[in-house]
Structure 1
């Protein structure tokens, strides 16, 4: 049996990567959602994105959201910042950390940010210079690490090449994203092996979507290879506006249930996360896509009925 880590860190992306692909919710609802998540034991919450409101209107109020949340000591509140203007807004918002995003495939880079992979990396240089000046840690997102909706399969060597470029720019960690959720464990293993030849495993995270129902299997594969940082979204919120058919990120509740069953510590209360998910989903007029969240709610209803 493979050796599993004793502890993993969860990067909660529901308030950004989740809500940016859902119907618009009010600033007050976003603030309440993040405040609820802050009471669950999570240590990293991605709270907003400073991107063009023309392209991502759901994130237009990120400055207001981050200025209104009740910050809890020990929690990193981060934001996505694709350019200098975004970084400057993140500073105004008091972001503890920022993230930049690139693609391992040319087709996705062109459709997502209208430039080549090499051009996108060049654009990040002034952001990285400012981050160093203000001593703000920068995380790098890398999309399409298994397959691209435009180019097909992404060669693992290409993923490793772009990931290494992001590290060389100054990112402290690279989050490897299966953007369209088509990967299976063997593809993930080959990709991680390739990237790990150039980057230590403790500088890598995984960010898997669940379009084909493989996210948890892929996460388990990553755990067996030493990955200890997992991106997830409460209730499985989100998708990808530039990848048709891509369902939401893997649900935080489902990841927590998996880790709990494997004896891996997270320090996070799964019931409290589920409660936060139900609250925001009520505002969105939908049910959580998390199987664990639905099971928790069903259990609570049964318990209430027994007490009557």
Structure 2
């Protein structure tokens, strides 16, 4: 039996949507400014590889995240002819206005499920964040721009430890009441485990069934793709990842990179879950990104290649004795 062509045999959905967040979440904590031309070249190459949903920048204060100071310029250089959905993170109504001026397809508002991380990440209480999002949604409504909701530290907080599932559900309900229909659960410091993924997905499905859930994992403790596997078993079809494994929250201790887009696509392909992404092109993008950043990135597939990539016997050493 060819399991690659029959995901239903494994209890998986037949298709998954890969959302690339490397241009935003991946680059945001890079200490050296990445030239604007390199940023939109990265986005265009990802689109060429078949990625159709990308979080490309954020309209935050340049003082807080200097890497994102060229948000409008990045959007102006992206190929908009292939139907890719371009989103940007916005912290407030002013950011929303700038995002609308730059013609984003959707805006992402974000907050943490834990009070302490929210104060570190955006210097606001959770209630202050939610109050501000209402204004963002009203601003977006005037232009017909969609708004997505992100919940950081949805699986645990580096300052508080376990995050009650009820807190995650409450934020999702508040998002729904604002008219938001897509919510991403963010594993900000790699604290997710398969039991937590199952618990949170089922809790949201029961409490807010009208919400489309996305999962955003980091590989801090090596469990990122295992958590994707758990999400697939729960029927989740939208996963956020970063090319080469770039990323890590700059406001959380020991936060390392996102799950790698090319590693994610490889696993989904091997499970028979369609992504409509050209894996060969994606590996090439990951290697170019590593060269651009100038250091070794954590992605595994760009080093090893797919499992059926064959090699000449003459290129390998032969055992002696």
Q: Give the TM-score category using the shorter length.
A: over 0.9
Partner of residue 28, structure 2: 20
Using the TM superposition, name which of 6-15 and 193-202 deviates more. Answer: 193-202
- Partner Cα separation in structure 2 for residue 28 and residue 301 of structure 1: 35
Residue of 168, 190, 197 corresponding to 2:206: 197
Partner of residue 186, structure 1: 195
Q: Kindly report which structure 2 residues correspond to 1:75-154, keeping only aligned pairs within 5 A, or say none.
A: 75-154=84-163
Evaluate the alpha carbon distance shift between residue 302 and residue 30 of structure 1 in structure 2; reply closer, same or farther with a 3 A threshold.
farther
Give the paired residue count: 305
Evaluate the alpha carbon distance shift between residue 276 and residue 72 of structure 1 in structure 2; reply closer, same or farther with a 3 A threshold.
farther
Partner of residue 289, structure 2: 280
Aligned residue for 1:293, secondary structure, equals: helix
TM-score by length of 2: 0.91
Aligned residue for 2:48, secondary structure, equals: coil
Q: CA deviation at 1:301?
A: 10
Q: Kindly report which structure 2 residues correspond to 1:49-88, keeping only aligned pairs within 5 A, or say none.
A: 49-88=58-97
Partner of residue 181, structure 2: 172
Residues 19, 58 of structure 1: 8 Å contact kept: yes
Evaluate the alpha carbon distance shift between residue 297 and residue 189 of structure 1 in structure 2; reply closer, same or farther with a 3 A threshold.
closer
- Partner Cα separation in structure 1 for residue 10 and residue 293 of structure 2: 40
Q: CA deviation at 1:73?
A: 2.4
Residues 266, 306 of structure 2: 8 Å contact kept: no
Q: Give structure 1 stretches of 5+ with no counterpart.
A: none
Residue of 5, 10, 14 corresponding to 1:6: 14
Partner of residue 155, structure 1: 164
- 1:52-90 deviations in Å (ceiling 9; x for gaps): 000100000111111112223221011111111111111
Evaluate the alpha carbon distance shift between residue 201 and residue 124 of structure 1 in structure 2; reply closer, same or farther with a 3 A threshold.
closer
Structure whose residues are more often helix by fraction: 1
- 1:85-132 deviations in Å (ceiling 9; x for gaps): 111111221111110001111111111112221211001111100111
Aligned residue for 2:286, secondary structure, equals: helix
Q: Give structure 2 stretches of 5+ with no counterpart.
A: 1-8, 316-321
Aligned CA RMSD, in angstroms, stands at 1.9
Aligned residue for 2:27, secondary structure, equals: helix
Evaluate the alpha carbon distance shift between residue 300 and residue 72 of structure 1 in structure 2; reply closer, same or farther with a 3 A threshold.
farther
Residues 100, 140 of structure 2: 8 Å contact kept: no
- Partner Cα separation in structure 2 for residue 77 and residue 238 of structure 1: 19
Residues 288, 294 of structure 1: 8 Å contact kept: no
Aligned residue for 1:79, secondary structure, equals: strand
Q: CA deviation at 1:31?
A: 1.3
